[in-house]
Homo-oligomer: A and B are copies of this chain.
């Protein structure tokens, strides 16, 4: 929901063409480490921004290969950008796939049919923990091996990954103990009530 805004921000620093924008965004946002954007998306987004009148072409340049279409912010683009700066970033959707998987595994244990395909929440948990631990190790090595002249963003990204990784690890421990508690006293699986043929009137 916001490559648009980042592009506007970059263009507010100076006019650029698509390739430059892609490179600049990748450097700025941490690339594959944090927010990987493919060139194609830059061009399509740019086209949409142009159609909305937020950017405009500021002359093309030709030096050998294909044309370089340079873009610049319009007045409306500046307004939109100012609005973005004024807004706080909305706390993101976590969309934690592991959590869903875990809850599904728990539900399976409690209500699952007797298929061979067993799913053990404990095993899931341990696999996740092992993977995270290794990743954490790698990040730590990378952070400690960073050249001090490297950009500020690189350092901050590593520190962030480590901070959240450690938090997640501690949370996984917590999950395990909660799971042990529940195993002694299982809980109900949430279900939706349906209308037709009511079974138990409350």
A binding-site residues for B, Cβ under 8 Å? 2, 6, 9-10, 12-14, 19-20, 22-24, 27-30, 34-36, 61-65, 68, 78, 81-82, 85, 88-89, 91-101, 103-104, 106-108, 111-113, 115, 117, 119, 127-128, 131, 135, 151-153, 155-157, 159-161, 163-164, 166-168, 170-171, 174-175, 178-179, 182, 187-188, 190-192, 194-197
Q: Which residues from B are CB-within-8-Å of A95? A: 34-35, 92
* Chain copies in the assembled complex: 2
Main secondary structure of the interface of A (DSSP, over half): helix
Q: Which residues from B are CB-within-8-Å of A167? A: 163-164, 166-167
Which residue of B is nearest A29, CB measured? B100
CB atoms of B192 and A68 under 8 A apart: no
CB atoms of A107 and B13 under 8 A apart: yes
Q: Given A24-B191, A36-B93, 9 more contacts at CB 8 Å?
A: A6-B100, A13-B107, A23-B191, A30-B99, A61-B196, A92-B95, A152-B179, A156-B174, A163-B174
